[in-house]
């Protein structure tokens, strides 16, 4: 039984700064403090973000919107960013990224989860996550933002690419954005028109906003001609990699300007088992992008790029070079096993990139 | 290595030997899951229970039943925290859980040696260069001569005394290892190189002493309890932990049948070679489940050195197969009781204090 309400826990979190200091300086162990705090409320933690499920709402045949309320630790979140949602299965804490479709100042957020055929985690969330349960989130990240200038905006979404764009759109319209906004949402069939009713209501309320839909299952797709007919000086596009690359290509070919932001959520391209090829290595903390090889270990490649990662035995024993894998897939050079869990610690010296990767280094 | 009845392996045999161990490792890795996660969380629960119950009991002052039990529980909690929890988590044995509370790079343990020091001197130096003379500083820690292959120096004459002091102050001995004071004295490294490390060490020392010898005695004063009883209880608990960890660690690599190696062995060392060196340089302790858990499963020192990043709770089942693999390849599997193995360690400390034993 929780001793505090979630509002009470959020209020208390603001006064825990002395404890945070003590933990940061090693006088207290954060895990022990968290154990005590969670007795007060299941979502209360010192630094980590936990949220309680407040409502579940199906917004399409295959998409569920989750209304969550965070403990007080979410910092400067904006609609349109992503958060990592963590769920433990078989002793492993798995993370999946979802877009924030809304962020309120009182800690309420909404994310939308699309059912992935065969996806273990999304199905677990969709079918078993109940109202009242508490789940862990990472801090929000992502640079997707509404244009600064007051010109016409074109939003292109495919599938669940609608979610970050909806977050940006809701925010902009609520702030009174008055220039024309057009949203085109491409889905496979009618039942997948996520947030259809809400988008309809928005376009009824805001004369400057109109929404169009394309059903790719009926042979209709976004094309260069169709894009040319859509108004807008700024482009925001989100969807699978193929959709995004195509749309951006047409936009640039038509020389419609450089105010483009795009995000694609398909996994980074994966190499076949034996193929040795060139991959892109992104080192997040040092803000470096280099091209690398899928055959060499990441430690040597990072060093070749001028980085000085901590390292020790260089053969997978000492764990000195352990780093977080942020995106992409790496192959363990000793076992051939693949790791693709975002946020997972990997040993650079025995991991080779298996396609493009991003490392917290 | 005349004192070990090992068969020398051909390169092909060595490769097969390494492959068998690699396969064993793979099988275990693939099997990790819920049970291992539950286990390490339960261990942490027991650590908390022991430490907190011990500290609560110490608040009852000198009353023998509570003081003795409180001190014992606190010592037990620290032993479990250092060995089964801290040591194993810091090896990255539970990194696969992707849980920040059990992340090997971030864990800080309840001992004066900073975890960062340990990850270097132990995880890197000791586990990579196990029992290689001149490279693995854990061979005698610079104050003890345990093998005839170590060059004799006059101060080794008094090594039974040095070892006793080291055992009593084991947590400090382990901590300052990383400061390389011997090299500083010889002028091989500069004060500037040591200073940041010394600062890191004194900060950790202040936190540990502040907690055990200041904060809890002060709390006792505030509660109207006996601060001296609390302070002494903490002191004795730390001492118990020092003696026990010393005992276990000295039995890991310095027993009669443990081998040391010349640095040349590292040239072109293959995976199979590395495995073989770990097997020959380590020694196990036989006993029941209680002994295994109290040693942090370092009673399975051989398995720990072959697979330092596999969860230690798996070592017991791995040991059965490792013993068979060792036998199949004609390698001695060094295993004995705690006191039997320790007796051979004491004999080494006594014999090799003298230079004449150098050629024995």
Give tens-digit pLDDT for B93-145. Answer: 999 998 999 999 899 999 999 999 999 999 999 999 999 999 999 998 889 99
Enclosing domain of residue B121: 11-31+110-359
**Does residue B59 belong to any structural domain of this protein?**
no
pLDDT of residue A287: 77
Q: How confident is the model at residue B313 (pLDDT cuts 50, 70, 90)?
A: very high
Whether B42 is in a domain gets the answer no
Which of the four pLDDT bands, split at 50, 70 and 90, describes residue A330?
very high
More confident residue, B297 or A312: B297
Instruction: Tell me which of B281 and A295 has the higher pLDDT.
Output: B281
Which one of B32, B39, B49, B92 makes the best mutation probe of the A interface by having the most chain A beta carbons within 10 Å? Answer: B92
Tell me if the pTM is above 0.80: yes
Same domain, A341 and A239: no
User: What number is the average pLDDT over the span A234-246?
Assistant: 94
Answer yes or no: is pLDDT of B2 > 70.
Answer: no
Q: Model confidence at B360, in pLDDT bands (50, 70, 90)? A: very low
* Distance to chain B for A206, nearest Cα, Å: 45
Do A129 and A159 sit in the same domain of this protein? no
CA A301 to chain centre: 27
Are B129 and B266 a contacting pair, CB within 8 Å? Answer: yes
Q: Is A206 inside a domain boundary?
A: yes
Indicate the number of domains in chain B: 1
pLDDT digits (tens, 9 = 90+) for A331-360: 998 888 889 888 889 999 999 999 999 998
Domain boundary among A102, A137, A172: A137
Give the domain CATH number at A65. 2.40.30.10
CATH of residue A337's domain is 3.10.20.30
The DSSP element (H or E) to which A39 belongs, if any, is helix A30-40
pLDDT band at A285, cuts 50/70/90? confident
Q: Decide if pLDDT at B214 tops 70.
A: yes
Question: Is residue B159 in a domain?
Answer: yes
Size of chain B, expressed as the number of residues it contains: 360
Tell me what pLDDT residue A342 has. 86
Chain A residue with minimum CA distance to B102: A31
Cβ–Cβ contact B336 with A under 8 A: no
**CA distance linking residue B47 with residue B62, whole number of Å:** 24
Name which of B25, B31, B101, B107 to mutate to probe chain A: the one with the most chain A Cβ atoms within 10 A of its Cβ.
B101
The reported pLDDT for the residue numbered A274 is 54
Given a cut of 80, whether residue A269 has pLDDT beyond it is no
DSSP string for residues in A250-277 = HHHHTT--S-EEEEE-SPPPPPPSS---
Domain residues for the domain of A172 are 153-264
Where is A189: in which H helix or E strand?
A: none
Name the β-bridge partners of A351.
A332
Q: Which long-range contacts (CB under 8 A, 24 or more apart) does A94-98 make?
A: A94/A121, A94/A341, A94/B98, A95/A138, A95/A341, A95/A342, A95/A343, A95/B98, A96/A121, A96/A122, A96/A342, A97/A265, A97/A342, A98/A163
Nearest to B231 by CA among B246, B217, B220: B217
Q: Is B51 within the bounds of a domain?
A: no
Q: Is the same domain home to A194 and A298?
A: no
To the nearest whole number, what is the mean pLDDT of chain B? Answer: 94
Contacts of B87 (CB under 8 A, 6+ apart): B109, B296, B298
* Residue scoring higher pLDDT (A240 or A273): A240
- Above 60 in pLDDT, residue B149? yes
> Which residues in chain A have Cβ-Cβ distances shorter than 8 Å to B44?
31
Of all residues in chain A, the percent with pLDDT exceeding 70 is 97
Quick check: A323 and A361 in contact, CB under 8 A? yes
Tokens 């859980």 — which residue?
B97
**Quick one: which of B245, B350, B354 has its CA closest to B298?**
B245
Query: Could you tell me what percent of chain B has a pLDDT over 90?
Result: 89
* B23 interfacial to chain A (CB closer than 8 Å): no
User: Which of A204, A237, A264 is the last residue before a domain boundary?
Assistant: A264
- Share above pLDDT 90 across residues of chain A, in percent, rounded to a whole number: 73
Residue B228 maps to a domain = yes
Average pLDDT over every residue of A175-180: 94
Give the closest-approach CA distance of A87 to chain B in angstroms: 11
Domain membership of residue A311 (yes or no) is yes
CA A298 to chain centre: 24
Cβ-Cβ contacts under 8 Å for A214 (sequence gap 6 or more)? A184, A185, A186, A187, A220, A221, A222, A226
pLDDT of A120: 83
**Under an 8 A CB cutoff, do A317 and B127 touch?**
yes
Q: Check whether B1 has a pLDDT greater than 50.
A: no
Q: How far apart are CA B103 and CA B96, in angstroms?
A: 9
Beta strand segments in A245-347, E: 260-264, 278-283, 288-293, 322-332, 338-339, 344-347
- The number of folded domains in chain A is 3
Whether the pLDDT of residue B16 is over 90: the answer is yes
pLDDT score of A270: 59
Check B119 against A93: CB less than 8 A apart: no
Question: Which band of pLDDT confidence, cut at 50, 70 and 90, is reported for residue B148?
Answer: very high
Domain-located, residue B292: yes
The ipTM assigned to this model is 0.91
Question: Could you tell me which residue, B169 or A148, shows the higher pLDDT?
Answer: B169
> Is residue A200 domain-shared with residue A106, that is, in the same domain?
no
Report yes or no: B253 and B138 within 8 Å, Cβ to Cβ.
Answer: yes
Number of alpha carbons in the 13 Å side-chain half-sphere of residue A141: 9
Put simply, the answer to whether B96 touches A92 (Cβ < 8 Å) is yes
State the average pLDDT over residues B188-215: 95
- Does residue A310 share a domain with residue A340? yes
């Amino acid at each position: 039984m929780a001793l505090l309400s979630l509002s009470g826990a959020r209020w208390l979190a603001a006064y825990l700064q002395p404890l945070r200091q003590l933990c940061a300086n090693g006088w207290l162990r954060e895990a022990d403090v968290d154990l005590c705090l969670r007795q007060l409320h299941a979502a209360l933690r010192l630094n980590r973000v936990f949220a309680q499920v407040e409502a579940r709402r199906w917004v399409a045949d295959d998409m569920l919107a989750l209304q969550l309320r965070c403990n007080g630790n979410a910092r400067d979140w904006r609609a349109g960013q992503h958060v990592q949602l963590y769920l433990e299965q078989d002793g492993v804490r798995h993370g999946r990224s979802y877009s924030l479709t809304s962020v309120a100042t009182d800690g309420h957020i909404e994310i939308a989860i699309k059912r992935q055929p065969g996806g273990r985690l999304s199905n677990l969330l969709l079918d078993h996550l109940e109202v009242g349960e508490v789940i862990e989130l990472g801090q929000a990240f992502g640079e997707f933002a509404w244009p600064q200038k007051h010109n016409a905006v074109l939003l292109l979404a495919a599938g669940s690419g609608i979610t970050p764009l909806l977050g940006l759109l809701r925010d902009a319209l609520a702030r009174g954005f008055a220039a024309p906004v057009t949203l085109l949402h491409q889905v496979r069939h009618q039942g997948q028109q996520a947030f259809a009713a809400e988008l309809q209501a928005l376009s009824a309320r805001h004369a400057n906003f109109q929404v169009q839909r394309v059903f790719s299952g009926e042979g209709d797709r976004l094309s260069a001609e169709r894009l040319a007919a859509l108004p807008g000086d700024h482009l925001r596009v989100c969807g699978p990699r193929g959709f995004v690359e195509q749309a951006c290509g047409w936009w640039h070919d038509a020389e419609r300007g450089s105010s483009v932001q795009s995000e694609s959520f398909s996994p980074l391209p994966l190499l076949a088992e034996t193929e040795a090829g060139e991959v892109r290595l992104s080192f997040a903390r040092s803000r470096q992008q280099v091209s690398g090889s899928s055959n060499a270990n990441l430690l040597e490649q990072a060093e070749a790029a001028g980085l000085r990662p901590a390292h020790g035995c260089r053969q997978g024993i000492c764990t000195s070079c352990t780093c977080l894998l942020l995106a992409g897939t790496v192959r363990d050079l000793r076992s051939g096993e693949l790791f693709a869990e975002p946020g997972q610690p990997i040993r650079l010296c025995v991991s080779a990139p298996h396609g493009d990767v991003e490392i917290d280094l | 290595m005349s004192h070990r009845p090992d068969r020398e392996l051909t390169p092909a045999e060595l490769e097969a030997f390494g492959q068998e161990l690699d396969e064993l490792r793979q099988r275990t890795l693939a099997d990790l899951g819920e049970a291992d996660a539950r286990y390490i969380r339960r261990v942490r629960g027991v650590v908390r229970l022991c430490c907190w119950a011990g500290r609560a009991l110490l608040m009852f002052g000198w009353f023998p039943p509570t003081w003795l039990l409180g001190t014992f529980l606190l010592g037990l909690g620290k032993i479990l925290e250092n060995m089964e929890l801290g040591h194993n988590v810091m090896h990255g044995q539970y990194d696969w859980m992707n849980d920040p509370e059990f992340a090997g790079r971030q864990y800080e343990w309840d001992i004066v040696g900073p975890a960062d020091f340990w990850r270097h001197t132990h995880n890197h130096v000791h586990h990579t260069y196990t029992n290689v003379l001149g490279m693995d500083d854990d061979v005698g820690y610079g104050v003890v001569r345990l093998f005839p292959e170590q060059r004799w120096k006059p101060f080794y004459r008094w090594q039974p005394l040095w070892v006793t002091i080291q055992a009593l102050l084991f947590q400090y001995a382990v901590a300052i290892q990383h400061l390389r004071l011997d090299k500083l004295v010889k002028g091989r490294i500069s004060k500037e190189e040591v200073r940041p490390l010394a600062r890191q060490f004194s900060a950790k020392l202040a936190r540990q002493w502040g907690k055990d010898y200041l904060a809890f005695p002060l709390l006792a004063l505030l509660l109207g309890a006996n601060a001296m009883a609390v302070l002494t209880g903490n002191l004795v608990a730390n001492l118990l932990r020092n003696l026990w960890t010393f005992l276990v660690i000295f039995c890991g690599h310095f027993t009669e049948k443990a081998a040391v190696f010349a640095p040349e062995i590292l040239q072109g060392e293959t995976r199979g070679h590395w495995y073989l060196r770990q097997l020959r340089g380590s020694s196990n302790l036989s006993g029941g489940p209680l002994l295994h858990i109290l040693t942090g499963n370092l009673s399975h020192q051989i398995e720990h050195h072959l697979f330092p990043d596999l969860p230690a709770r798996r070592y017991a089942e791995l040991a059965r197969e490792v013993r068979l693999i060792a036998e199949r390849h004609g390698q001695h599997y060094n295993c004995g009781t705690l006191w039997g193995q320790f007796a051979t360690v004491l004999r080494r400390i006594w014999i090799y204090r003298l230079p004449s034993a150098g050629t024995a």
